[in-house]
Structure 1
Amino acid sequence: MQVKLLPTREQASALEATLHACNRAATYASAVAFVKDLTDRNGLQKEVYTDLKATFGLSAQPAVRAVKKVVDAYATLKANLRAGNLGPPTSRRYRKAVSTPIAFRPEAAQPFDDRCLSWQYDARTVSIWTVDGRMKWLRFACSPNQLKMLGAHRRGESDLVQRGGTWFLIATCDVPDPEVRDPVDWIGVDRGIVNLATTSDGINHQGRRLSRYRRWQARKRAELQAKQTRSATRRLAHRTQKERRHATQVNHTISKEIVSVAQRTGRGIAVEALDGIRERVRLRGDQRGILSSWPFHQLGQHLAYKARRAGVPFLEVDAAYTSQRCPRCGHTERANRPARDHFRCRRCGLAGPADVVAGVNVRNRARSAWVFVTAPAPSP
Structure 2
Amino acid sequence: MGTLYLYQRVYNEALSVFKKSYNYDILSNDSIGQIYSLRDIGRTFTGYNNADSSLFYYENAYKQAREIKNKHLTTIISGELASLYTQLGMYSQAEEAIRISMQAKEKRNLASRISTIADLYFKMNNQDSAYYYYHKLLEFDNYYTKQGGYEGLSNICKQNHLYKEALDYVDLYLAYTDSIKKQTDTENIRKMQSLYNYQLREKENQKLKDINAKQEAKVIGLIFILILSITSFLLYSQYTKRKREQKKEQQRRLQEIKERQYQKSIEFIEQNAKHIHFLETQLQVAQSEKDELKQELLEAQKELIENTNKQIEAEQKEQTLLESNLKRSDIYIHFHQAAKNQTNITAAEWNDLQAMIDQTYGMFTKRLYALFPQISEQELRICLLLKISISATGIANLTLRSKQAVTSSRKKLYEKTHGQQGGPEKWDQFIQAF
Higher helix share: 2
Q: Is the radius of gyration larger for structure 1 or structure 2?
A: 2
